[in-house]
Structure 1
Amino acid sequence: MARPREFSNETIFYAVYLALCQKGISKLTINDISNEANISPAGLLKRFGSKKGILLAYSDFVVQLTKKSFDEALKKEESSINALKKIYKNAMKLADDPVSLANHASFYLESTSDPDLLQISKKRLDILDKGTQTLLKQAIAQGEIKKCDVNVISTVLQSSVGGAMLLWIRNPERTIEALIDDCFSVILRPYH
């Protein structure tokens, strides 16, 4: 008798990401995730209990990835501003076209009606904000930028990058990376 194949949560979460990029949250099914992960729907349900269980676990995974990206950036001996840019760019790098990015973003926008998913999303946004502020403070300490209100700059950077994502979805003539570079350049210019 053959042993059942083992699937790591990371493999499954990557499949969730791919399925979200293809379908968006409103059309996402267990079968979509199952097809991407090459695991049976029953296997997914046995591990996570429900579609919502999968999405909650995926959300927790994204929170851990966000935290890890900031922890690693703080340890590197490079420009804090460049490290921060890389974090924002890497967050969008797997969505290689505007439709995929819009579909994935729908997960965060539409999950606000679910209190459990919203709570995890808020946790991720809190890590993003605190991490951005920490790297901005480090940039000030390293002399990369002048002293500024890091709380305000963090909020404006996050808003600007989110807006850049929406602009790219509507008009992909420029790359999302170039738009993110513009956000950083314009917002931080007065502090160089």
Structure 2
Amino acid sequence: MSPRPRSTSDEEILTAAARVISRVGSGRFTLGDIGEEAGLSPAGLVQRFGSKGGLLLALAEHRASGVPGRFAAARELHASSLDALLHALASIAHEVDTPEALANLLAFEQMHLDEDGFHAHALRHARTMLAEIRALLDEAVEAGELAECDPDDLSRTVQTAYTGALSTWAVYRSGTLDDWLRGEVEAVLEPYRA
């Protein structure tokens, strides 16, 4: 007899987990909180992920593996490589709408950096993001949107501006995170615009 088909996908569960963590923090949520958000029992979550730690590790992997899709979707929406870059970067932080949510998600990202599995996913996330930024900047130079530049340096600077903008928005609390991120990255790109 084959097992019953799952009515809720792992992706839906992990998306629900990200919402819960952004609301209550990675140290305070329970499997019951995520189960309620995803429409599953805590036992069902344990059956799928093994433990709360297993679910957190799966979420870290899910966030890292989702980066290429965000950039691909942005390319589909925008003819301009720079517009696609701004869209992709903003979409990575799409679930953040308050400084508290940002603080909770950043705490999740940094909480387990000393653990090998979590660090491996964080490093893959960062490297993949850097490669995607670099590819769009190369395309922007080729299309004449940007002047010739050192794409390695500019890619790292864009990634650093993006990461820093997450923290500074939570402090300044000026406008939406989307607008803040775009403004900070555009300021970095402005001197290179053709």
TM-score (normalised: structure 2)? 0.90
* CA distance in structure 2 between the aligned counterparts of 1:158 and 1:43, rounded to whole angstroms: 38
Matched AA of 2:119:
L
Question: Percent identity, aligned pairs only?
Answer: 29
2:36 and 2:121 mapped to 1: Cα distance? 26
Q: Is 2:104 the counterpart of 1:103?
A: yes
- Aligned-residue Cα RMSD (Å) equals 1.8
1:10-25 paired onto structure 2 within 5 Å: 10-25=11-26
- Structure 1 position 149 matched with structure 2 position 154: no
Shift of 1:174: 2.2
CA distance in 1, matches of 2:162, 2:80: 19
Whole-angstrom CA distance in 2 between matches of 1:4 and 1:136: 43
Q: How far apart are residue 113 of structure 1 and its match?
A: 2.0
Shift of 1:79: 0.5
Q: 1:181 to 1:73 in 2, by over 3 A?
A: closer
Deviation at 1:4, TM superposition (A): 8.7
Determine the C-alpha separation between the residues in 2 that align with 1:177 and 1:100.
14
SS in 1 for 2:113: helix
- SS of 1:173 mapped into structure 2: coil
How far apart, CA to CA, are the structure 2 residues paired with 1:38 and 1:113? 32
Contact 2:70–2:91 at 8 Å: present in 1 too?
A: no
> Unpaired segments of 5 or more residues in structure 1?
none
Verify: 1:33 aligned to 2:34, yes or no.
yes
Name structure 2 gaps, 5 residues minimum: none
Deviates more, 1:181-190 or 1:139-148: 181-190
Aligned to 2:72: 71
Separation of aligned partners in 1, 2:173 and 2:70: 26
- Matched residues in 2 for 1:189 and 1:117: separation? 35
What residue is the counterpart of 1:173 in the other structure? 174
Aligned residues: 190
- What is the TM-score normalised by the length of structure 1? 0.91
Report runs of 4+ in structure 1 exceeding 6 Å deviation: none
Task: Sort the Cα spacing of 1:182 and 1:61 in 2 relative to 1 into closer, same or farther, 3 A.
Answer: same
